[in-house]
Structure formats: C-alpha cells, structure tokens
Structure 1
Amino acid sequence: MQTLGCKLNQAETESLARKFIEAGYQVVSPDHAADIYLLNTCTVTHIADRKSRNLLRLAYRRNPRAFIVAMGCYAERARDDLGSIEGVSLVVGNRDKERLVEIVESMTNVPRRRSVQDSQQRLTFRTRALVKIQEGCSQPCSFCVVPRVRGREASRPDEEIITEVKARVAEGHKEVVLTGTRIGSYGHDGGLAGLVRRILKDTGIQRLRLSSLEPKDLTYGLLGLWGDRRICPHIHLPLQSGSDSVLKRMGRTYTTAEYERAVSLTREAIPNLALTSDIMVGFPGESENEFEESYRFCERIGFAKLHVFPYSARPGTRASRMTGGVRDSEKSRRCQLILALGRRSSILFGERFTGQNMNVLWEGCREGVWFGLTENYLRVFGCSQEQLTNQSLETTIVGQLDGSLWGELRTGCASL
C-alpha cells in the first residue's frame, strides 16, 4: 500500500490497511513484491498525477502478475486514464474506497494468512495516528479540484471518532492528528470545538494535533481550548497568496488584513505557537507587483514553515480558463525566492527555543541519529544508545545545524 498527497489520504490508507489485516492479509512495505498493490492517488497538481502514473507502472514492473489497484482522488477524476495504464486491474474512486476489501476479495483469489501472529500484525506507518473526522469541501476555490473529487462536506459521527481515538491510544500512540479536507467545517454537536472537548474528556490521548484550519475557524471558543496543554501549539493556516487581488481571483474567503488579524489573535492565545502555511506562486495573472506583495506579507507574518508550490492548472476549474498564465521559468524563480524566505523564517523561529526544554516524540533512528517532533512541530535530532521509538521525552534544545534543531537527552548525547 502506498499513498500520495495529503494527511487525509494517509489517514484513509492506514484505515484500509487495518481492514485488510483484519481480513487476514499481510501488509508489506511498497518496495516489496506483493500479490496486491494499492496506490492511493493525489491529483492536486500535474506533478501528483505524474507520480501516481509512475508508481502504478513501477508496481507492474515489480510483479506483472499482481492485482494493481489505483484509488483515490486521481482515480475519481480520471478513471479511464488510470485504467488504460498497463497492469492496472482496478480503478476505485473516493466513494467506493470504504468497500475496497470486499471488492478486492470478489475479484482475486490471493491466499490469506489466518494465524494468530498474522492477525495481530501492527501497522508501522508512523508513531502519530491520523484520524479522519470529515471530508469534502463546499467552498471551492477557483484553482482547486478537490471539491469535485471529494464532494460536499460530510462529517463522521463524534462517537465513531471517539471510539477510533481510544483504539489508537490502546495501540500505544502518544499523538493523534485530526484530519480531513476542511476540519473547521466539522458539523456535529458543538462543531470542531465540541469534538475536541469530547476527545480531551473521554480519551487518554497525550497529544492532540489539528491538521489544517482556515482563518474564520479561529474563534475565541476554539482558541480557548489550547489552555489544555495536550493540544499541540501548532496550526497550519493556508494562505495561498499575500496579495489581495490574487486572493480575490482565487476565490479565497478572506483578505490579507483578515488573515493577519486571525494570526495575531491566535498568537496571543497560544504560547510558542508554530504557524505553518501553503503559498502558491504563478497563479494566472500574478504580476511582479502582486508577487512582491505576497513575498512581503509572508516576510511580515514570519511563518515557522512554508510549503511553496507553483500553480498547476487543474481540468474543470475556473482558474484553468483564466488568461494571463505565468511562464514556467518565472514560476520557478518565484518559488525559489519564497523557499529561501521560508528557510530563513524557519531558522529564526527555531532559534527562539535554543536552551529550552521541550517535549519531543521520538519517531525513529537513522545511522545512529534519532529524529522526532516537538509539540509545536519542530524537527529535532539527537543521539542515544537507548530505544526511543514512540517515547515522549523532555529534551534540551542545544542548537541548530543546517536549519535542524539538535537536542540533548538524559539518555544519550547531542552533537553539532
């Protein structure tokens, strides 16, 4: 099983993996030969489309006799395109993903393992558990294909979510990330704030992280919940552009002034907040002056991390019919400028925590160096001779190297 794209895709893949394990299948890593390959695709850009096609072809080369399934957003948007790729056995859109185990079983005769050991196979995707609370978007932006492939907003029942969070805690997860297409639109009793209160009250989760919010979601009622330290002081607040005229063409629902007010309110409410964001460059008609406005706005806000990407025309969107396209070479130049700004901003944010003790959830180890995440989403590296995977430990931040924080643990060492 392999996933491209957003945390919602990742959450759905993990959920499907659990269902396949419960049905007696063994889940292996993507680079292993398998009888069944499942790729959860992404179609947010043409690059994501290309990656999806390439991975499907790679699966066929690994095992030409395998049953290869293309599922997810690209499958929902362009079923025939994916179905024509050599080796692809089945194309399943978002509406049928929940039934995938049943569908695959009806079309294959792959032997399954039913021993006690196999039925207790644990997922090894990540130390943080992703829990889907809703999907769909009812406020489409002019550039975005997601409403078309995900549909209108639909929320899971809160009891179902509480049950899943309890299950992840029972598995040993220290952190749960609430994810969806637009989690701020969660629509059951009390909305998102009510759901968060219930999770904090009814489960034993140590860390709760909210994946992505919009400026209008940041109400006093929601921000007040960060008084409980189990909620991670990290908010991803997509900006897309720091130019009001570009935001208007994008169909975004805020101005830069409204965005900045939301940022100020949030920083006042949440100490040590890490604010991360998405920035698009080269939107149709984006002039040099509009780009400079966006650059200066990002510089003024001072994000902890920026995800920067060039505009990619998506079939069927309003933006794909707009005139004034920006040359690819110019998009690349603007991307590099914002990326450099983002790196400087990240370093400045990280420097604030040198000498401080921070809680780090250690995720894994490569070549003797451990890596993990702080509550406010800072990547930390450190040395230890002990097994730290999925351990949440107080760690002293001793400095930065190439933009990464290094921490000193009582159980080991740190080096710069």
Structure 2
Amino acid sequence: MKKVVFALIVLFSCIYSQEASASEKFIWDGSEIVEGQIGKMTFSKDVKVYKKVKDSGDFTSMVVKRNNYFRVYGKEVVGEHTYLWMSGGYRVQLTDLVVYKELPRDIIEKVSGSKLINGETVYVSSKGGVSIKAAPNANAKTLHRVPYQTVLIVKDFSGDYVQVRYRGHDYDFAGYVAKDYVASLPNPKTKYIKETVIASRQPNYAIHGNSGAVTLGRGQEVKTYFTTSNGLTLVTSKEGVTGFVPSTELSTKKIVNVPISILKDPTLIALNPLKGITYSRYQVIDSYASGVYNPVKENHWKGNINHSTSEVSYYKASDFTMAVTKDNIVYTIDDSTITIPFPLKVGSKIISHTEGFQKEEHVVDRMLDRYTFNNGETIENVIFAGPMSDNEKLGWNLDYSIILGKSYIQFYYDFYKQE
C-alpha cells in the first residue's frame, strides 16, 4: 500500500512539474516574452504599419498608437533600410520614430529551447562548406553548395535541419541545412569604418560590381565577428546591415573629422624641404608614371621620372620647386604651377596653370583637420578643391581636381607624397 501511495505521489508530481513548465512565463523589461520573439518596440507618435496582401502585391495598413508596446518577430534589411516584423504579417521601417529593444540572447534561447534563434544570422561552420537542400533530409535535392563562413538567416526548424535564407549577390532563396553545419556568430568586437566602403553580402563575391552590396559610411560603428582567409571581415551595423568589408577598412578608434574654418599658416600644408617626394600617376589614357624627387637645395627637388604606356617606356628629367610666403604657396612642376592663397578657407580659389593652356580655378569646397583615404593613409590639414561635375567625373573618375594636405598633393591623377 505504501508503495502505491508513493507511486501516485511521484506521478502527480511529474504531471504538476510538466504543467508548471508548460505554463512558465518569461518576463523581460516588464513584458511577457513568447516563442519566436526577438524584441519589442514602441513608437514616439502614431504611425502606419503595412502588410503585403498575398498574391496581389498590394499593401494594407493600420495605425498603431504611440507608447503602446508591440512584439517584434524578425528584422529584415532591404537595400539600406531596416524593417521590423510584427504579428499578423505587418512590418514597419526602423526610423527615429521607433524605439526598439532587442531581447538578450539567453532569454530567447530559454523561450525557444534552441541554441539557434529564428531570424538570427548564422554562418557555415563546416570548413568543407554545406549543401542547401530543398527539403529537410539528406536525400533531398541540393539547391546550392556554399563555402565555409557563408552567412545565412534562420527561418524555421525541422528536426535535425534548420530552414535558412541564403542571400547571394543578385538573388535570394530558402532551403535547409543540417544544424551541425552552422553556428551562431561569435561574440563581436566594436570597430569603426575608416572610409565609406561597399559591404558584400557574401565572402566569396567581389566587393565592387556587386549588385547585392550595401554602403557603410565613414566613421560608422559596426560589430565585427571574424575575418576570412581573403581578408574580408563580417560586420553588422546598428541599422541592421550585414556584410563583408576589407579588414584594412576597420579601425579600433572612432573616426572623427573636425572641419577647419580657416587655415592661416602655409607651413601647415607645405612640403618638407629636406625630404624627398614620391610621385605617381595612374590611369591617364594608358599612361603611367612614377619616380622620386630628391632635394638638391632648400625648396628645390629634381627627379628622373619613368613614363610608360603599353607600347613604350622611358625616363625624363623633372624639376620641382616650392615658394612659401605668408600670402601663398606656389608649387612649380616643370611647366605647371599651383598657387594656394592664404589665409585659406572654404570658397578660396586655388589657381593652376600649365604653359600653353588657360588658367584653372579650383574652388575650396571643404577643409578637415585629418582625412583617411580608402587605402588607409591618413593626411592632416586636408583641403578639397574643385568639385567635379557629373560630366567631368565621367572623364576623370574623380570627386575633386585638387586635394592638398600636410606633405601631400593630388592634382587630378598626379600624386606627390612625403613620408
């Protein structure tokens, strides 16, 4: 009899435990969290949210009231815009009107009971890559084979498989991969974009000419996860952009550009009279040139410059002088001069003149205390002059005709630098 009573006690305890577990509520930030939820949001004013009508392509909308909280079940990036998915198929663009809070990962895992989270970005952790299948089984048709470190978006779960969304450079599709071949992203580090850069959707696509790519701006804060063998780092931005950028375009320090209102001292951008000048020219009608100007006396350099085309290569002697006064700097390179007036400010006119041609005016467009170029090179006291029109850009592929800085001169495609 005692054994029967004990068995009943154990049985009812198990049933109670299961019911308690099934009815367990997860509360975070004052709200109950449900399976599939990744965050919560409210609005600073009444806004419209939209839902696509199935098959018709039209949208229906409803107005949601400010200060009411709504569950968020997914995040999607379309172009350079981020959208948050609500219940019922409605979504809203993430703007300044939206106050969005993302759930901590441990809460999502507790609610879902899975290490992978619906809607999250994962990567292929198998070094041999993985096949994306049409159905959740090994014998299903292979839709695509993707390499190690390809990024995927979790859509759903089916036994030992996870349904994912693959975003290629010009197409998207959904399929299934074995859970054991993908993993959540590692803990990120915070870094900053040095200069405006294009982020590729996948690590095996070229950064440029990629129709699925997005742009990340100079100084933008990003989270970094890992770097591939070809030097591309996976990043995500606060706006929800995910992509691969060259690791050389990332800085551990914040990128700050301070505008200069006026530059009074010519020596702040003048060349060092005791140092040599490295010269290069690129992409000018199949004409390339390079060489070094060595100082021969104060403010005077001489070089033996190599010029080459697809048909011929030769050396030519070249002369470079600099004259500095309190009113201007005049650079003379053979039969060309560049005259920079001081004090220098936005709107000032830099004059260039090549013998046999008319003088050109290059209006100063902006001035910064420092600037980092796409190659990672940072210049101090930078002056951008002669903004190019769209028609001019077609011929020169340049934004400015002159860029000057401390020990730096760019005159169209001619570059003069000092270390």
TM-score of the pair, normalised by structure 2: 0.21
**Is the radius of gyration larger for structure 1 or structure 2?**
2
Q: Relative contact order (alpha carbons < 8 A, sep ≥ 6): 1 or 2 greater?
A: 1
TM-score of the pair, normalised by structure 1: 0.21
In terms of fraction of residues, the more helix-rich structure is: 1
